[in-house]
Structure formats: structure tokens, C-alpha cells
Amino acid sequence: MSDLFSSHEPEAMTGKRPLAERLRPKSLAEVSGQAHLTGPDGALTRMIEAGSLGSMIFWGPPGTGKTTVARLLAGETGLAFEQISAIFSGVADLKKVFESARARRMSGRQTLLFVDEIHRFNRAQQDSFLPVMEDGTVILVGATTENPSFELNAALLSRARVLTFQPHDEESLGELLKRAEAAEEKPLPLDEDARLAMVRMADGDGRAVLTLVEEVWRAARSGEVFDTDGLIRVVQRRAPVYDKGQDGHYNLISALHKSVRGSDPDAALYYLCRMFDAGEDPLYLGRRLVRMAVEDIGLADPQALVIANAAKDAYDYLGSPEGELALAQACVYLATAPKSNGVYVAYKAAMRAAKENGSLLPPKHILNAPTKLMKTEGYGDGYRYDHDEPDAFSGQDYFPEKMGRKTFYDPPERGFEREIRKRLDWWDKLRKERNRR
């Protein structure tokens, strides 16, 4: 097998290869931003030192070095390297790879099979890896940008160790900029603010920051230095990494919801704007704000639901961009409102009781008796009309007799629920007095 890291291209052609390819690390020690895996005490470093590799799943966002690290692992352990992509491969391709690996194993050399986008394989295709992993035909290294817990078979996960690749931080992306300048022997035509802006535009993606570097060098005229506005003009700002159906979506909506629950309007606004900026459907966000109003605020501030619904309707009426302000206003209102999950907890407890107690008949005194038979059976006997009672409260028991009285709703001493608590305590006092008579 040819050396993976040598180039057979003419010398003049190598300069035309993408900068990210030319700067690809030649050893694990050169890998940037993944010290927990490739540093002196990293998990992969320890595996290599132990002389034993097992199958692995590399999980992380784009541009964090998953493919590069897989190649380096093969090179540093003397394994044959095979690479396929789940996007372009099917069962026939897998069979060919497995057959080649078996033949190679017969001659005494093991194969590291790198499968890019492994989550794209269906369940049956994922199962096809199990026999060749178990008998040692291949050491599987799968790469995925999606949460393996959701996208990969339990059987596959039980045979492979999941290693998480982190997005590049500003420091490691800054180091990539310095490597690019050293390799090209010229500085980036950016002032300090623009340099930092470029790092942030890359959004943790090492390949992306090097692509931006190339765009800037192509655009810059002799002696020109870009400020942040100039940088934005020439590179047309890269969109944030965000998949509305996958982890990016769920992570940000979780952060928004928890920021509202935690009464932090600044953080809540930030995550709301992150999702606006990434192209999330504002009506989806409006619906989630309504959910927050009923789940985390409830009757501590009954206006929260009114305002959240009004904001959703305002966006529906105004559209973008004016409607986003209504959602932002609701977001701040919810974050600054008193919090209570009292009704939410009560609802879950009542639902559990409804499921556990079956079809119990309500007490007969609160049942209507539209027929003579039902009157004979005692339906409606002893019912006291509350409006005719002192304080408009009879204190009767409304639960099924076989179930007994239950308490589901326990309002906290916060917001409007403080007033509700007073009412419930008052009714409870009256109920006890009248039941003693």
C-alpha cells in the first residue's frame, strides 16, 4: 500500500492543493485542539503506547480532525488504511472492503477501516460490521457528526469506544492561523480585530478557518489590510454550524429553555438570537416560548401564557424581521417572571393517579340523574350547591370513594400563586370545619 502522507504530484502542483490539505498534521503530536485525545496523556496516545487499538467511534463537529487522526493512527501502528464514506457506499462496497481486509489478514497485516459519516448507514448495514469487528478482520473507526446514542445500533456501540472530538477553541484556531502564515511565509492582511473575527466566523471548524485564510489572501491587494467590516465583505461570513433537525438544534433550544427557567434574560436572548441567526423557524421558537410559559411559570404569573401566545400571533401577523422583536419581548418577560412548575407537577401526578386507579366511578352525590332509574340508584343524592352555601363553599368530597381525597397541586409562595395558596388554605380550613359537623 502506498504511503498515505507522501504526495506523488509534481512539485509545481502541490501549491494548488487546498491549504487545509497542505497543512494536514503528519503526526498525532501535530494535531491541534484535541489534547484530551492526542496530547501526551491523551486517550489515543495511551492506546498507541500500549500497542493495542480497538474499534472506535469518533464523534464531533466538522473540521475537528477526525479523518486526519484516523489516518495517523493507521500510520503510527502499521495498520493498512481503508477509507469509505457511508454517503457513497453500499453493501457491495462493504463486502469488497471486508474481503480485502480478510486477504490482508491472512498475510499478517490488520486493517483499520475508516467509515466517514457512519450514521448514514442504516441498521442492517451497521450490523454487517459486527462479525468483522469480532473476529479481528478490521479495526473499525467510524466518524459521525451526530449523537451516536441516537444514530448507531446498540450492538455496534457495545463493541466500539466513543471518543468525542471538541470544536476548536479560539486558541487552537489562532495556532492554525500562525501555521498557515509560517507555511506561506507571509502575514495575514488583517488587523487584530479582524483576525479575531475570522477565528469566530470559523465556529470551531479548523478546515473552515484555513479556507477563510485562503479567501483573504486571494482577495487582498498589495499592501491592503482588512478591518472586520472589510473581512466580512470579502468572505461573505460563513453561516453558523447548525442543523435544525439534529444536535445543534436540540442543544440551543435546551440552552434557551434552561436560561428562561433560570431567570437569566441576557442568556435567554443570546440563545434566541443564535437560533434566529442560524435560520430556525421563528414560529417554532414562538411555540417553545408558549411551552415555557406553562411549564416553568404557570400560575406564578398567569399573564406569561397570554404574552407568549400574543408574541407568537404577532410574529404570525407581522412576519420577519419585525415579528422577531415580539418573540424577543416575550422571551425577556418569561425570563424575568416568577417561576413555578406547580401546575406541571400537579398535572403529572394527576395523570399518574388516573392511569393507576382505573375507571373509578365519581361519588354519586355529584352525578346527574336524568332518569328515574338513576334517581333510584341514588345519583345526585346529598349534593350541595356551592353557591347556596356560606362563602360559596360546601366542602364536599369530589374524589371517587375508593380513591380517597388526594392533593396534587401544591403552589409555592411565589408570584400570583401566593394568593392561590391563601385561597386553598382557606378552603381547606372550611372543609375541615364543615366535615366535623
Q: Are residues 117 and 26 in the same domain?
A: yes
Q: Do strands 138-144 and 111-116 pair parallel, antiparallel, or not at all (unpaired)?
A: parallel
Q: Residue 202 — φ and ψ, nearest 5°?
A: -70, -20
Cell digits of residue 109:
497485516
Q: Are residues 126 and 175 in the same domain?
A: no
C-beta neighbour count of 160 within 10 angstroms: 22
Q: Residues 304, 417: contact at Cβ < 8 Å?
A: no
Q: Are residues 261 and 216 in the same domain?
A: no
Report pTM: 0.63
Q: Kindly report the length of the chain.
A: 437
The list of the chain residues with pLDDT below 50 reads: 1-14
List CB contacts of 62: < 8 A, sequence separation 6 or more: 145, 205, 207, 208, 241
pLDDT at 356: 86
pLDDT at 29: 86
SS3 assignment, position 144: strand
CATH number of the CATH domain containing 207: 1.10.8
Q: Exposed, middle or buried, 269 (CB in 10 Å: 0-12/13-18/19+)?
A: middle
CATH number of the CATH domain containing 415: 1.10.3710
Q: Are residues 411 and 427 in the same domain?
A: yes
Cell digits of residue 262:
433560570
pLDDT at 247: 66
d(CA 39, CA 70): 15
Q: Are residues 21 and 150 in the same domain?
A: yes
Q: Are residues 183 and 209 in the same domain?
A: yes
pLDDT at 160: 94
CATH number of the CATH domain containing 90: 3.40.50.300
Q: Is residue 215 part of a domain?
A: yes
d(CA 398, CA 402): 12
Residue among 54, 3, 152 at smallest CA distance from 44: 54
Express each pLDDT in 234-278 by its tens digit. Answer: 888 655 555 555 667 788 999 999 999 999 999 999 999 999 888
pLDDT at 298: 95
d(CA 302, CA 334): 11
pLDDT at 13: 47
Q: Is residue 240 part of a domain?
A: no
CA angle 220, 226, 227 (to 5 degrees): 165
pLDDT at 157: 93
Q: Is residue 299 part of a domain?
A: yes
Q: Is residue 354 part of a domain?
A: no
pLDDT at 270: 94
Q: Are residues 154 and 176 in the same domain?
A: no
pLDDT at 185: 92
Last residue of a domain, one of 142, 164, 186: 164
Q: Is residue 312 part of a domain?
A: yes
CATH number of the CATH domain containing 272: 1.20.272.10
Residue type, 250: Y
Q: Are residues 73 and 150 in the same domain?
A: yes
Task: List the domain range (segments joined by +) for residue 296.
Answer: 247-336
Q: Are residues 253 and 392 in the same domain?
A: no
Residue among 429, 397, 423, 395 at smallest CA distance from 409: 423
Would you tell me the crossing angle of helices 282-292 and 322-336 to the nearest 10 degrees?
20
Q: Do strands 138-144 and 56-59 pair parallel, antiparallel, or not at all (unpaired)?
A: parallel
In order, the DSSP letters of 335-396 are HHS----HHHHHHHHHHHHHHHH-SPPPPGGGS---SHHHHHTTTTTT---GGGSGGG----
Express each pLDDT in 285-343 by its tens digit. Answer: 999 999 999 999 999 999 999 999 999 999 989 988 889 999 999 999 999 999 999 99
Q: Are residues 302 and 386 in the same domain?
A: no
Q: Are residues 380 and 316 in the same domain?
A: no
Q: Which residues of 6-17 are buried (b: 16+ CB within 10 A; e: fewer)?
A: eeeeeeeeeeee
Last residue of a domain, one of 117, 141, 164: 164
pLDDT at 51: 83
- Asked if residue 10 has a cis previous peptide bond (ω within 30° of 0), the answer is no
Q: Are residues 55 and 17 in the same domain?
A: yes
pLDDT at 279: 79
List CB contacts of 426: < 8 A, sequence separation 6 or more: none
SS3 assignment, position 80: strand
Q: Is residue 341 part of a domain?
A: no
Q: Residue 201 — φ and ψ, nearest 5°?
A: -60, -30
Q: What is the total count of domains within the chain?
A: 4
Q: Residue 98 — φ and ψ, nearest 5°?
A: -65, -40
Residue among 266, 239, 241 at smallest CA distance from 255: 266
Q: Is residue 260 part of a domain?
A: yes
Cell digits of residue 376:
333510584
Q: Is residue 344 part of a domain?
A: no
Last residue of a domain, one of 139, 164, 189: 164
List CB contacts of 318: < 8 A, sequence separation 6 or more: 326
